[in-house]
Structure 1
């Protein structure tokens, strides 16, 4: 069976439907044209590539903390979708519980966009997430992770690391930020998305300079704690992108069909409670 037809779960994509869910007025970026991706369009993508379930990530661009588009999709496809919401950092437990009841499994912490300062002391939020068994999904880049490491080590919250940690590929595997990410493999509550190669590679497809970092993550965390995500519909892409070509990359990274089944299916299926 080809990676294109194997059953899989896409653990990182967005929905943009400005016709039915207008963007917030103060958004820093307004996806348009080929960047718009509606639920109807994504359902066709799922059919084309045998994506059985998906984790919809609420985007900072366009919607920020307005989760109406996300929650509508979760309500319409409760068996197929789970969600990651963008919320105010002072959100209370009741509001988080209401989101969880609607299919949200975690919240997004976009450190890459907002910097480390707002996140280094969010112990109260992390505690509320842990109590509700919700994930903290963290997107960092370059040298940011070490500043957050004390917080991540002193909390009990389950963690989802976005886009392979977006390492600086010019400074090597021994760079402190990437080594800090590898240390999170020492406990069993951190999971890594083997996604986002185009966001940290300095080369065109197939992004060869980023592959050693994903190999190191797969070795450190194991297939039981690694996931795959497409990042569809590819905001701010520097070149043409397609889910099919990205799947060929995950097939090359994980050539063992049994191990790939773990990454693409068993791990996310258990993690997000898909039947």
Structure 2
């Protein structure tokens, strides 16, 4: 078993991060496996060295260990470009110049009421007729889901998380209707979360992806990309989310629940485990 914890250095880690990291580490230790750390810093304008240093410090304080060197997404642009080029060579990509406002305007017409996908309402296909020869520096790159899903066939993955354990399948028809033409490369960072996480999990030979339930609906995208790129599909474990007293999922703006805040108040790693139900 190889698990991973992959935070972004855009703020201090909070109790939700502690739960995810400790869950992944505990699962790997119980199976005699390995726990890896990955820094997801592709959104460079929002990432800082100070927050990255705090990630290492807080995780070590919690008692976690991982092998060096740590994979950092900001140094892996060539790997993402290669995966993107492979999908383009398969005829599965197209450039997109639409802004969020353009997409909202298009969806206010007959498509209104379409299901919400992992990235919001499925893209209406405004730029789908464009070819990669037309790609410009201000374009994003999207996946032609109809072509991709037809080529990949049904996607399937095993889930071990509470509440959704079992086998999950998505037909090509559902991928088109419910997910749509996802962005593979943003115009500002040259890749996307979906493409980067798929390429990185394969590069690190992750066997069990441990992450929050909020990412469950994105899993079909990652499995689809794995099939297209010839990668193995890991087992997935989507754990419960740590929420505040109003039931809201914790975010990095919740400094009052940052691990650092509890450390400064004199709490121990054992106290943190008790707070989050471990």
Tell which has more relative contact order, 1 or 2 (C-alpha 8 A, sep 6+): 2
Q: Rg: which structure is higher?
A: 2
Q: Return the TM-score normalized by structure 1.
A: 0.30
